[in-house]
Structure 1
Amino acid sequence: MEIDNLTPAEERVWRAFPRGQDVDFRQSADEDPARGAEWGPDRTVRASVLRALLLSAPQEDGEIAALRLAGARVTGALRLQYADIDHAVRLSDCCFEDVPVLYGARLRQLNLRGSVLPGLVAATLRVDGVLRLSDCLFDGPVRLGGAQITGALFMDGARVEGPPSDQPVLQLNHVSVGDGLSAPDLRVRGEIRLTGASVAGSITFNASRMEVGPGEVALDAETLAVEGDVLLRGVDVRGWIGLRGARVAGRLDLSHARLSNPGDAALRASSCTIGELWVRRSPPMEGTLNLRRAQLDVLFLEPESVPDEVLLDSLVYTSLSPHEPAERRLAMLERDGEGYVPHAYEQLTAAYRRIGDDEAARLVQLAKQRRHRGTLPWYGRLWGYVQDATVGYGFRPLRAAGWLVSLLLIGSVTYALHHPEPLKPDEAPQFNPVFYTLDLLLPVISFGQEQAFAPDHWYQWLSYALVLTGWILATTVITGITRTVSRQ
């Protein structure tokens, strides 16, 4: 392109490029690029001029060429597909009339901060540095699928909206980021797709808002791999978040988050591996929390943030925080949409035992038996009620001791009023109703009374009942004492 064909604004940009100088058409620092269509020829630059600059502009010895342009209206489509550009490119606070096409291009650095664009086509883009899309306003889809970014990707404060479509408006699927993805205060109306993406640092979506139609996916991050944290603190998500098969080495933080997808899952994190999952200081999710088959080192889950329905089958976690009474945690297990899930009770029991709270662990096991009772036929439920009332399924040894004392009193009074006949009158010791009843109740200790006397009629049946119940109750008491001694 000949310089004689350039407008004064374009000539200014052309002459500044070889020396890497800034060209700023802005009249004030706070002007709105969304009104760029009103800007006149004095700040209008054709996309074809920018393309020619980047691909074939002359160089100056001893200078580092770069495109640094601010506050311009860019007309036409900036087409750089498959281009290999060694210069830094900064087009900040600009207004683009057409969608830039950077498919398959390679750039040293790209900065579009504060610009207004009808979209961006940059799939398989390679940036050997930082890609900055901070505070940009996109009126159409942003396609960065398969992009390779050696440095960081910045989208803080960006706005992405598009017409109703079955395609994601922000496509970051299979993107590779050598540092982090920073997008706090992001606003997206439509689906964000992060499937198969790889981020060497952390992902930050703090205070962002994601909105789609009811029952649709707001953030699809299946098989996402992040070496740092995924921060979603204070986000407002209308739709569901999908993390199936994702791997987050650090923390997935949903503190102060509002997730809403009534009638469906709000968070689908099944089969994922996460260092720490934080759900705290948040209102209950409007939708299901799906953690089936997930593996977590730390689960920080406040009972107040648990939704009305959860899916916890095969969830594995090492530590559970904050420490709460078992009754508050059991309410969560009772909300499992799959009904009785034994594994969930075993995981909660193990978490309490790891921190030495054996009483809470026993409460969880008792609740497990009671929940299991509801799945049995009528005769199994009947026997379960008997076990629960008498010994608390073995987890209430003091209750068993109370029954033993009651039976001792009944037996002592009964046999005091009706002495059993001695088997050998000449050799029998003096009858003692209390020790005779103890002989029947206690399976190991013998006071010589049971072998010396033989009750008859229904008193004999009473002795059989005392022997049978004594074995059960005494064993329960001994087991409880053994557990107490072993802990000491």
Structure 2
Amino acid sequence: MVHVTPPPGLSHAEERLWAAFPTGTMVVLGDDVPEGPLPDRTVRAHVLTRLMLGACETRPGSVAAVKLRGAYIIGQIDVSGGTVEHELRLERCRLVEEPDLSNAETRQLRFADCRMPGFDGGGLRADGYLSLSGSTIEGQVRLPRAQLSGGFRMNGTRITMDDPAKWALFSGGLVVDVGTFIRDAEITGGVRFVGARMNGGLFMERTVLSNPGRLALDAQNMVVEDTAEFSAGFRANGTVRLRSARFNGILSFSKGILDSGDPERMALHASHMYADELLLLPAEKIKGKVNLSYSRVGVLYDLPPAWPDELSLNGLVYDTLRGGGLKDRLEWVSRDPQFHLQPYEQLAAWYHGAGSDDLARKVQLAKLRARRRKLHFVGRAWNHLLDWTVGYGFRPWLAFAWFAFLLAVGTTVFSAEKPHAIRPPDELPDFHALVYSLDLLIPLDTFGQQLAYDAVGWSRWVAYLLVATGWVLATALIAGVTRVLRPN
């Protein structure tokens, strides 16, 4: 039944609220959050529920709404599964029981600077924004599958969930248009945004998420359009998991803090992620592991002081890299505890694409040296030889330098200790120490000196050395060039 006048049995505060509803007038019972059930500030929850569900006539020419400040609300606001045609606005109210708006269709909802033991909005569909800004919630906020067309606001909100088996903010499958604003908040117990879609961005500047040794934020498969700001004083005490998330814009940790609470745990798990731009510029060194494996980033901007001791970069692809020089980047890719070719190949490809072919070659050389540490003894020995002689083929000038040095040694030795002739005088070419040394170093008998003269005494060992090193240099040069052409 629709009442024109307040129904019987209402308190004075409830009569004021009933009378103010048709015009949407704010009823002020106090300017602070009441600690106890004061007679002149106590309102029963079922009175608010009846007004929200249309138990009072509206007034033509006015916008009806439930607006209440400074009330002590007993009982439960329960509109679960219902349709609410009017705005609900509670300011500085104390709710004894958690409001239940699960599976309801509502207009704008605002709980500003309130105190409550929880909030249930599972499946809520709000044609307007939901605001819990400034509120203190001593329990769980549930918003799974909720759809908020006007945005979601939790600026300055304090949520505390002491049960480690439950999330402080549980909102898998949440869809928010306009924007999600959770600035200056303190949330203890972990936030779950798995599968959420933030169509107007996600802004968590100066917010503290505290769940040490556990998940501070689980946002797997989340999609954010525009900007995701975990920056400007944002702090996560626990793991931030963004696995398979997509950021069609900027993902920023600029001036934020990531601390897993356990050096063996992930501080940032962002594998298989996509971001147009990733700003990994925290205020201090990341404490814990970071996993960026198989992610794709348009622009990656980070700095060496921010890197944790352990980075997983295998499969990471980026179009542009900013922050740190070659030496820093080589240290960056070496922080992966497991050796993988791909991080080095990606870094070399980026330098090559940027026109720095010399730096790309240095990265390839560093890759082969890092790979050498994983080989058995014989393999390491051969790789050392390739490195010293030809730089794995990336430094062929080393072979010519060795060749010139050995040629100079041979020329000096055989000028002082002339080899013995082994042919008849009429078949002997004129001896020349330089040409003789050259003939020994080149694996083929090119100038006829090697077959006409034979070193004697101690110089014979020099001849043997030149022949052996000539073959080694030739083999190393061929192997090195082959490795460059087929680096994997």
CA gap 1:192/1:424 in 2 versus in 1, 3 angstroms:
farther
Determine whether 1:14 maps to 2:12: no
Larger CA deviation: 120-129 vs 413-422: 413-422
Cα distance in 1, alignment partners of residues 215 and 450 from structure 2: 79
* 8 Å CA contact retained: 1:122, 1:147: yes
Spell out, residue by residue over 1:53-109, the C-alpha distance to the aligned partner (whole angstroms, 9 max, x if none).
Answer: 111211112222112222222121111111111112211221111110111111111
Q: Deviations over 1:90-139 (max 9, x none)?
A: 11221111110111111111111211111101100000111111111101
The answer for the alignment partner of 2:247 in structure 1 is 248
* 1:255-305 deviation per Cα after TM superposition (whole angstroms, max 9, x unaligned): 222222222111111122222222114322211101122122222121111
Query: Aligned pair 1:464/2:467, yes or no?
Result: yes
* Helix, strand or coil at the partner of 1:112: strand
Match of 1:308 in 2: 309
Q: Structure 1, residues 401-458: CA drift from partner, whole Å, max 9, x if none?
A: 33122111012123323247486855766433224434555689x9x73478533364
Q: Tell me the amino acid that sits aligned with residue 223 of structure 1.
A: N
1:266 touches 1:289 (CA, 8 Å); kept in 2? yes
Alignment check: 8 A CA contact 1:442 1:470 kept: no
1:77 aligns with 2:76: yes
- Matched residue SS, 2:471: helix
- Displacement, 1:40? 2.1
The amino acid across from 1:135 in the alignment is: G
Q: State the distance in 1 between where 2:413 and 2:86 align.
A: 103
Check the 8 A contact 1:109/1:127 in 2, yes or no: yes
Whether the aligned pair in 1 keeps the contact of 2:443 and 2:467 (CA below 8 Å) is no
Q: Which runs of 4+ in 1 moved over 6 A?
A: 473-479
Question: Could you tell me how far apart the structure 2 residues matched to 1:62 and 1:229 are?
Answer: 40
8 A Cα contact 2:113 2:133, kept in partner: yes
Q: Describe the SS at the equivalent of 1:48.
A: helix
Of the structure 1 ranges 124-133 and 344-353, higher mean CA displacement relative to structure 2 is found in 344-353
Who is 1:182 aligned against?
A: 181
8 Å CA contact 1:295–1:315 kept in 2: the answer is: yes
Secondary structure at the residue paired with 1:267? strand
Residue aligned with 1:82, SS:
coil
Contact 1:431 1:449 in 2 (8 A): no
Matched ranges for 1:46-85 at <5 A: 46-55=44-53, 56-85=55-84
CA distance 1:318–1:40, change in 2 (3 Å)? same
Which residue number corresponds to residue 99 of structure 2?
A: 100
Q: Which amino acid aligns with 1:3?
A: P
The 1:357/1:38 distance shift into structure 2, 3 A limit, reads same
* Partner Cα distance (2:24, 2:321) in 1: 55
Return the letter of the residue paired with 1:21.
Answer: T
Structure 2 counterparts to residues 79-478 of structure 1, below 5 A: 79-214=78-213, 216-233=214-231, 234-261=233-260, 262=262, 263-322=264-323, 324-337=324-337, 339-416=338-415, 417-419=417-419, 421=421, 426=426, 430-438=430-438, 441=441, 449-450=447-448, 454-456=452-454, 458=460, 461-462=464-465, 464-465=467-468, 467-469=470-472, 471=474
Partners of 1:75 and 1:393 in 2: how far apart? 78
State the alpha-carbon separation in 1 of the partners of residues 70 and 419 from structure 2.
Answer: 109
Partner of 2:364, secondary structure, is helix
Structure 2 gaps, min length 5 = none
> CA 1:343/1:254 → structure 2, altered by over 3 Å: closer, same or farther?
same
**Mapped partners of 1:91, 1:424: distance in 2:** 117
C-alpha distance in structure 2 between counterparts of 1:336 and 1:456, whole Å? 55
After superposition, give the CA deviation of every residue in 1:304-327 in whole Å (9 maximum; x if it has no partner). 1111111222222222211x2322
> RMSD of the TM alignment (CA)?
2.7
Secondary structure at the residue paired with 1:37? coil
User: Which amino acid is 1:15 matched to?
Assistant: A
Deviations 1:322-370 (A, max 9, x none): 1x23222222222212x21111111121222222233332222222111
Q: Please, which runs of 5 or more residues in structure 1 have no aligned partner? A: 484-488
Deviation at 1:199, TM superposition (A): 1.2
Quick check: 2:175–2:197 contact (8 Å CA) kept in 1? yes
Residue number in structure 1 paired with 2:28: 24
Which amino acid in 2 is paired with 1:414? V
* Contact kept in structure 2, 1:424 and 1:452, CA below 8 Å: no
CA distance in 1, matches of 2:361, 2:466: 33
The residue type paired with residue 432 of structure 2 is N
Distance (whole Å) between structure 1 residues aligned to residue 390 and residue 363 of structure 2 = 15
1:43 Cα shift? 2.4
Aligned to 1:486: none
Asked if the contact 2:442/2:471 (under 8 Å) is kept, the reply is no
CA gap of 1:94–1:352, structure 2 versus 1, over 3 A, is same
1:372 CA displacement: 1.1
8 Å contact from structure 1 (residues 309, 335) kept in 2: yes
Counterpart secondary structure, 1:239: strand
Q: Number of residue pairs matched?
A: 470
**For residues 295 and 225 of structure 1, what CA distance do their matches in structure 2 show?**
14
Aligned 8 A contact 1:85 1:107 in 2: yes
Shift of 1:221: 0.6
Distance change >3 Å, CA 168–CA 281, structure 1 → 2: closer
C-alpha distance in 1 between matches for 2:147 and 2:92: 24
Task: Please say if residues 401 and 477 of structure 1, whose CA atoms lie closer than 8 Å, have aligned partners that are also in contact.
Answer: no
